[in-house]
Amino acid sequence: MIYADNAATTALSPKALSVLVHHAKNTWGNPSSLYAHGQEAKEVLEQARTQIARCIGAKEREIIFTSGGSEADNQAILSAAAWGKQKGKRHIVSSAFEHHAVLHTLQKLEKEGFEVTYLDVHADGLVRPEEVKAAIREDTCLVSIMYANNEIGTIQPIGEIGAICREKKVLFHTDAVQAIGHIPVNVVTDQVDMLSASAHKFHGPKGVGFLYVRQGVPVRSLIEGGAQERGRRAGTENVPGIGAMAAALQEAASHMDENARHLKAMQARLIEGLSRIPHGALNGDRDRRLPGNVSFCFEGIEGEALLLLLDDKGICASSGSACTSGSLDPSHVLLAIGRVHDVAHGSLRLSLGEDVTEEEIDYIIACVGEVVAYLRSFSPLWRDLEAGKKAFIL
Amino acid sequence: MALYSEKVMDHFRNPRNVGVIEDANGVGLAGNAKCGDIMKMYLKIEDEVVQDVKFETFGCGSAIASSSMATELIKGQPLSEVRKLTNQAVAEALDGLPAYKMHCSVLAEEAIQAALQDYESRMTKEDN
Ligand SMILES: Cc1ncc(COP(=O)(O)O)c(C=O)c1O
Ligand SMILES: [Zn+2]
């Protein structure tokens, strides 16, 4: 099997697995208990906090452990909104292609009287810092722009946006779920106030993540209860998961350069190979993208059928077609970069793992070419395109 | 649990009656590219019986499987039977579809009924 869906989730690294099992077995005390067995668990948490903080240039007390990326996104946005409401600031700037954990939270706030500006991400899938600047108003309480997009992999100019927000004294949150562990992220040089991350995207376990909150930024607890995480997140901590997350992140950070170098070479080979399929196109900027992300649209075919046939050939991938999402609309990300519905339905996302080989890339290229040609052979849409009854878009 | 039944996967992987009938006397189209599924049905009708049927589909796994199964259900059948074909019958013959995929079987029914209408309007034209 070739697993090329690492943007969906990653395999647990052997190191993270051994830490997970070790703490599940041995460090099962409650970190809030004062006897030694509890304090050992507390020690695991604090060590993990230190390791994670170091990886992103933060201080220990700025890291809040959460149940994952979605919770971190919700907490960051709702905290900024609660603060904004107190100050009479009810405007938020975000982008059109954020993850649903951000978009749905913003939609909830819109129903409560907030106003949200969704910035255009242009055909290249990049937010323009000057457009962020222009969108900020007197009553803006938050700017939330993702670090890297989960579907098309484009990396946003976070440092430039951070500088603008700092200058304008507006809170800045970034959903860095796809970036952390894959590209260098530093909360100080990027000037971010809040940052969300999720362990299962960097070979850690599912159901655990963290929110970075810069010291002094007002943050609220989403979950009422005990005083864990200094009152910012109630609930007995997931000690094994948090320990394993820190181990996974350290490992990812220490191999980041070599992993990125290899992935970029594999990415280039894959993009070149898939570009030879007629009437297809790469989604998002060619260069400013995550090293493992390759996203294409192929005209005249539908993505789910493509995925099922690739699965038959042992390739795990994903698509933003409507039929994979359970709704009638294709992915909002592809629509946001200007892909029309007809084309957006024929999308394919391959997100490579660090251990992918050249042979596997060549196999993927051959299989995608074969399956696209096969599906086109009985597609009435393709027939019309070829017959000139409809104009090719790609 | 797989997303689709064995039957759906069988018809998706090995679709029956794929292609075009050049001298079809009933052609029907359903769906559109915007929603992500388009089906085109070609019927060759003689003596009020579907002698041959072929389809082309742009769409997901269940759209392709639904088209394939629908052609099997009507091939060799008298028009009186074909008119009674419902999307439920197509879905049942496939051992069921996930709820959010039922619209794909609806398209198969619509494409076939559209092809029948096309046939009937051609017949009335000939009669006139
Ligand atoms: C960009 C982005 N944000 C948020 C999430 C949600 O993370 P989690 O699955 O940990 O809740 C994901 C994962 O799907 C993601 O890709
Ligand atoms: Zn469908």
Token pair of B105, please? 């079987």
Give chain A's mean pLDDT: 97
Write down the pLDDT at residue B95.
96
Pocket test for ligand 1, best of A65, A144, A145, A150 (most atoms within 8 A of CB): A150
Q: Which of A102, A104, A198 to mutate to test the pocket of ligand 1 (most atoms within 8 A of CB)?
A: A198
Separation of CA B60 and ligand 2 centre (Å): 4
Contact B61 A305 (CB under 8 A): yes
Q: What is the average per-residue pLDDT within A350-355? A: 98
| Cβ-defined contact of B38 to A305 (cutoff 8 Å) | no
- Residues on chain B touching A382 (C-beta within 8 angstroms): 58
- pLDDT tens-place string over residues A293-341: 999 999 999 999 999 999 999 999 999 876 766 666 789 999 999 999 9
Q: What is the secondary structure of A31-84 as a DSSP string?
A: TT--SHHHHHHHHHHHHHHHHHHHHHT--GGGEEEESSHHHHHHHHHHHHHHHH
| Burial (0-12, 13-18, 19+ Cβ within 10 Å), A145 | buried
The CA distance from A328 to the nearest CA of chain B, in Å, is: 6
Domain residues of chain B, as ranges?
6-127
Q: Which of B40, B101, B103 sits opposite A380 (nearest CB)?
A: B40
Distance from Cα B47 to the centre of ligand 1, integer Å: 59
State the pLDDT at residue B50.
98
Does the complex come out with an ipTM higher than 0.85?
yes
Contact residues, chain A, for B56 at CB < 8 Å: 378-380, 383
Expressed in angstroms and rounded, the spacing between residue B88 Cα and the centre of ligand 2 is 16
Q: Determine the average pLDDT of the residues in A42-60.
A: 98
Provide the residue-wise pLDDT of chain B in tens; the chain has 128 residues.
Answer: 588 999 999 999 999 999 999 999 999 999 987 778 999 999 999 999 999 999 999 999 999 999 999 999 999 999 999 999 999 999 999 999 999 889 889 999 999 999 999 999 999 988 77
Give B-chain residues touching A321 at CB under 8 angstroms.
Answer: 36, 60
pLDDT digits (tens, 9 = 90+) for A159-206: 999 999 999 999 999 999 999 999 999 999 999 999 999 999 999 999
Q: Inform me whether the C-beta atom of residue B71 falls under 8 Å from chain A C-beta atoms.
A: no
| pLDDT at A290 > cutoff 80 | yes
| Gap from CA of A30 to ligand 2 centroid (Å) | 49
Q: Give me ligand 1 centre to Cα A211, in Å.
A: 12
Of B9, B57, B101, the CB nearest to A378: B57
Tokens of A298: 């192929």
Give me the pLDDT at residue A330, please: 87
Strand order in the sheet with B49-58: B26-32, B37-46, B49-58
Q: Which residues of B touch A380 (CB under 8 A)?
A: 29, 38-40, 56-58
- Predicted local distance difference test score (pLDDT) of residue B3: 86
| Beta carbons within 8 Å of A366's beta carbon, 6+ residues apart | none
pLDDT at position A44 over 90? yes
Q: Which fold has domain A256-386?
A: Aspartate Aminotransferase, domain 1 (3.90.1150)
Q: Which helix (H) or strand (E) holds B35?
A: none
Q: How far is A98 from chain B (nearest CA, A)?
A: 22
- Inter-chain CB proximity A382 and B58 less than 8 Å: yes
Taking an 8 Å cut-off on Cβ atoms, the answer to whether A323 and B60 are in contact is: yes
Structural contact between residues A81 and A110, judged by C-beta atoms closer than 8 angstroms: no
pLDDT at position B26 is: 98
CA A380 to chain centre: 35
The CATH code of domain B6-127 reads 3.90.1010.10
Residues by chain with Cβ below 5 Å of ion ligand 2? A 323; B 37, 59-60, 63, 104
Q: How would you classify the pairing of strands B26-32 and B37-46?
A: antiparallel
Mean pLDDT of A119-136: 98
How far CA A365 is from CA of A7, A292, A360, in Å, comes to 19, 15, 9
Closest CA to B18 of B75, B96, B77: B75
- Is B57 in the A-facing interface, judged by CB distances under 8 Å? yes
Q: Does domain A14-254 have CATH number 3.40.640.10?
A: yes
Record the tokens describing residue A209, joined without a space. Answer: 């993540």
CB-nearest partner of A323 from B36, B38, B40:
B36
Are A14-254 and A256-386 equal in CATH topology? no
Q: Where are the domains of chain A?
A: 14-254, 256-386
Q: Give me Rg for the CA atoms of chain B.
A: 14
Catalytic residue among A55, A141, A323, A367: A323
